[in-house]
Amino acid sequence: MQTRRTLLRRGAITAGGALALSPALAAARPDRSAGFGPLIEDSGGLLDLPRGFHYRVVQSVEDTLSNGAPVPGDFDGMVAIGGRHNATVLVRNHELRARDITATKAAVVGRNPYDPAAPGGTTALVVGPNRKVEQSYVSSSGTLNNCAGGGTPWGTWLTCEEDRTTGHGYVFESDPSDPENDRSKTPIRAMGYFSHEAVDIDPRTGIAYLTEDDFRGSQVAPEVEVPGTTRSSFLFRYLPDNRAQRPGALQDGGKLQAMAIQARPQYNMDLGRTGERFDVVWVDVRAEEPHDDALSKGAARFQRLEGCHFAGGAFWFDDTSGGEARVGQVFRLIPSGDPTGGGTDMLELFLEGDNKDQMDAPDNLYITPWGDVWLAEDGDDGNRLIGLTPQGEQYVFAYNRLNENEFAGPCFSPDGRTFFVNIQDPGHTFAIWGPFARRDAGGQRAMASSPPAHRRAPKVSGELREQAAKHGMSPYEVAAYDRLGVKLA
């Protein structure tokens, strides 16, 4: 009998053969001309991929680091950085709290921790051109619940604590070329004390954009406006004083702001529709308590923000439980390009999910080297990697047959030939290769300017349009209230 260990040790596996597409995936593919073709059921029982693609488990929690210590559990956000001799250096988060540590799930144990009692942190893997690990080690330690984060243009990793307890709730900079240095244990306090999810940086301006995943409040109908009864997460940006774009520059201070919708204080993004655009203003918030400031100053409210990625001149991010159906939303922010933070930015609801076949709790988000948006799901009914194209098509690239937990940490090697991704629990990192599209900066720009995929727009009656005009609201906002049974005076 094969165990999971023997399956994981099979090494490279080809997703080929005349095997049928699973019924769930067949239903989930709205357009088979998009992407790389139908998925082939994996005889190894791990990942279903399109024909011609291969994968290898490069590391799992059953392995050890180069120093003999166990590989920590709960793999999450990850970045791929160019290394020596055509190697790729992966920096990987471990979303660990004290209660997560078990006999089979180790903590991140480093020599220079921020908080010796905290089990989270980051590890680094040097992966050779043969897609095998040459070295692995702790790159930062002593942090808590390291969920996502983001790579920097200067080759480091910003790891984010999805937490807001005493002493935890910050962003830290991890440098795989100088592991466990003092910066790795120094919180970037000016980037805010809140339940961080992900961060990415506009390479033109050096401005950092940050998502918040805050669980306070209850997930009830979005028309309930009593403070504290609906979840509120916010989008922030950080204008650093030092725009040198080098390790440690973000520590030199800066201004933290929250995004608001012009002339619509405390706008609930659940009420938007696919394709709707919003003029954005930014309000200053205190780094010590930005969430409360954002709420009191009328910042735009989301349910639970997750992954993000800056590419082609656009900042992409998603809300894992946003929208009327609570299955997720994908947003696109087009910054003005003013390095001082001036000008008017534009936010667009690129796609709102209508059902779980379309998307099911999008979490980490990544823009591929050729421009497609890839979403890593964290749903309850089996998790997938979903692609969105500039032409408005949608496809599934991978299906997780282990079905233990979410896909996390999607990223491509610098040459665009290898895709790396994690399955979080108990922890597996995969390298995937095959006939990927070529790297194309033009494709990323095309994605940044492509029209949204208008899959299902709500029907709006003449009466509702009159109500919208009377109250100075969009017709789709009034339609959302109507579907929820809320009558406007």
pTM of the predicted protein model:
0.86
Torsion of CA 309, 310, 316, 318, to 10 degrees: 20
Give the rounded distance of the alpha carbon of 214 from its chain centre. Answer: 15
Alpha carbon distance 349, 345 (integer Å): 14
Cβ atoms 72, 136 nearer than 8 A: no
pLDDT at 420 > cutoff 80? yes
Mean pLDDT in residue range 325-343: 93
In sequence order, the 6+-apart residues with CB closer than 8 A to the CB of 17 are 40, 43
In the Cβ-directed half-sphere of 165, how many Cα atoms lie within 13 Å? 9
Q: Which of 38, 23, 90, 16 is nearest to 408 (CA)?
A: 90
The conformation of residue 124, written as its DSSP 8-state character, comes to E
Q: Give the span between the Cα atoms of 323 and 357, in whole angstroms.
A: 15
- CA pair distance 416, 321, nearest whole angstrom: 30
**Lowest-confidence pick of 3-7, 169-173, 435-439, 440-444:** 3-7
**Residues above pLDDT 90, as percent of the chain:** 72
3-state class of 77 per DSSP? strand
Mean pLDDT is lowest, of 3-17, 107-121, 299-313, 420-434, for 3-17
Sign of CA dihedral 440, 245, 314, 219: positive
Q: Determine the pLDDT at residue 19.
A: 29
Would you state the pLDDT for residue 353?
A: 92
In terms of pLDDT, which residue wins out, 364 or 356? 364
Strands 428-433 and 157-161: unpaired
Q: Which residue has the higher pLDDT, 221 or 108?
A: 108
pLDDT in tens, 24-37: 333 333 333 468 99
**Confidence bin at 351 (pLDDT 50/70/90):** very high
Residue 420's DSSP bridge partners are 411, 431
Q: How many CB atoms lie within 10 A of CB 391?
A: 14
Residue 72 makes CB contacts below 8 A (sequence gap 6+) with: 61, 94, 96, 105, 106, 107, 108, 109, 119, 121, 123, 427
If you average pLDDT over residues 401-425, what whole number do you get? 91
SS (H, E, C) 230-279: ECCECEEEEEECCCCCCCCHHHHCEEEEEEEECCECCCEHHHCCCCCEEE
Query: Which tokens go with 385?
Result: 């990697």
Backbone angles phi, psi at 111, to 5 degrees: -100, -5
Q: Give the Cα separation of 184 and 171 in Å (integer).
A: 10
Nearest to 158 by CA among 127, 143, 216: 143
Helices and strands counted in the chain (H then E) = 6, 27
- DSSP code at position 414: T
Write the DSSP assignment of 189-231 as a string of letters. Answer: GGG-SS-EEEEEE-TTT--EEEEE----SB---TT--STTSB-
May I ask the CATH architecture of the domain 4-457? Answer: 6 Propeller (2.120)
pLDDT tops 50 at residue 293: yes
In this predicted structure, the answer to whether residue 489 has a pLDDT above a threshold of 80 is no
In the prediction, which pLDDT does 16 show?
A: 36
Cβ-in-10-Å burial (0-12, 13-18, 19+) of 52 comes to middle
Write down the domain spans for the chain.
Answer: 4-457, 461-489
Task: Check whether 360 has a pLDDT greater than 60.
Answer: yes
